[in-house]
A = this chain, B = another copy of it.
Amino acid sequence: MGESSRRASRSLPARIAEEVETRISSGQWPPGSRLPSEPALAEEFDVSRATVRSALRSLAAAGVVRTRHGNGTFVSEHGGAIRASLQSLRSTSGLIRAQGHEFEIVYGTRRLRAATEAEASHLRRSSLPAVLEYERAFVGGTSALAYESGVLAADLLPAGTDPGALTGSIFEFLEPLGALPDQSVTHVRSTYDPGLAWGRGAPEVPLYLTLEQVQFLPDGTAVSWSTTHFVQDHFDFTLIRSA
């Protein structure tokens, strides 16, 4: 039961999923083992079975557990490589960090300029006066990890924004503006281009996994259009599919 009003910023299923995941990664519930039944979990966490099922559903979609009808819910044998799943793609910085890389962001171009028609179209604007164009490299140690170029819709930025204020992650740049994307559409392809690298640490083989991404605000406005080239062999991107 709800008891009194406890401020719960995150949802009940999310918190239960986290607790289950903690027990799994702590080794309390090792890979291959069977979880307590749904009614048992519901009783332990003092929630309804529907809430437990919602938590387990998200864990199954993430590949952490596996349910078998009439049999039980089991910890996946391959929970390790799941962290950097493409499905959980948010920011480029987050994606690279999830792969276990230490890195530094080096910016090239940063400037406000008029938008092209292609940019207005990708950003779903009938008319768009300006964009903030940027170019940056993610460098880990002495070798480049990824190159990214993109544009931010300038109509979402306060008038007189200094492009030079874009120094770290774009996430951190947008957050104080209340312009955090919550949805994205990504196209995946491969790229082989010796002319793409710049700055220090260019890869020996110019082979990349390329993600082209448009990000959207909760109200459906497009925020950014970016293309990120991930240097091959530095990343292992995973996709999980459950029927």
Partner-B contacts on A (CB < 8 A): 63, 66, 68-69, 71, 74, 77-78, 81, 86-90, 124, 182-192, 205, 207-210, 218-220, 232, 235-243
Residues on B with beta carbons closer than 8 Å to the beta carbon of A242: 182-183
- Name A68's contact: one of B185, B190, B210, B218 (CB within 8 Å): B218
12 of the cross-chain contacts (CB-CB < 8 Å) are A66-B183, A69-B218, A81-B187, A86-B188, A87-B241, A89-B241, A185-B240, A186-B241, A187-B237, A188-B238, A192-B207, A209-B209
CB distance from A54 to the nearest CB of B (A): 10
Contact B63 A241 (CB under 8 A): no
Residues on B with beta carbons closer than 8 Å to the beta carbon of A63: 185
Q: A74-B220, A220-B74, A243-B182 are in contact. Are A237 and B189 (CB under 8 A)?
A: yes
Residues on B with beta carbons closer than 8 Å to the beta carbon of A243: 182-183, 218
Number of copies: 2
Give bound CA distance, A69 to B188, whole Å.
30
Contact B86 A184 (CB under 8 A): no
Give bound CA distance, A236 to B71, whole Å.
39
Residues on B with beta carbons closer than 8 Å to the beta carbon of A207: 190-192
Residues on B with beta carbons closer than 8 Å to the beta carbon of A183: 66, 240-243
CB distance from A25 to the nearest CB of B (A): 18
Contact A237 B192 (CB under 8 A): no
Give bound CA distance, A198 to B60, whole Å.
38
Residues on B with beta carbons closer than 8 Å to the beta carbon of A240: 183-186
Give bound CA distance, A140 to B231, whole Å.
30
Give bound CA distance, A181 to B78, whole Å.
16
Nearest B residue to A77 by beta-carbon distance?
Answer: B124
Give bound CA distance, A89 to B185, whole Å.
16
CB distance from A157 to the nearest CB of B (A): 22
Contact A190 B218 (CB under 8 A): no
Contact A238 B186 (CB under 8 A): yes
Nearest B residue to A63 by beta-carbon distance?
Answer: B185
Residues on B with beta carbons closer than 8 Å to the beta carbon of A87: 87, 239, 241
Residues on B with beta carbons closer than 8 Å to the beta carbon of A232: 189-190
